[in-house]
Amino acid sequence: QYNSDVVVFERWAQMRSSAAMHMQVHLIGVPREGGKGADSERWLKEVTSMADDHELKLHKMGRYSRDEIAGIAKTTSESGTPPYIYMQLPGSNKIRLLLTPTRTSSVPMNFGREVVVKCMGLPTDRLEWRSCQQSTEEETELAKKLKASFEAAKKH
pLDDT tens digits, one per residue of 34-70: 545 567 888 999 999 999 999 999 988 877 666 677 6
Residue 138 gets which letter from DSSP? H
User: Residue 33 has what pLDDT?
Assistant: 65
Radius of gyration of the chain (CA): 17
Residue type for position 96? R
Q: Which alpha helices (H) appear in the chain, and where do they start and end?
A: 40-53, 66-76, 111-120, 136-155
pLDDT tens readout for residues 89-144:
988 667 889 898 887 778 888 899 999 999 888 888 888 878 888 899 999 999 99
pTM of the full structure: 0.75
What are the extents of the domains in the chain? 4-127
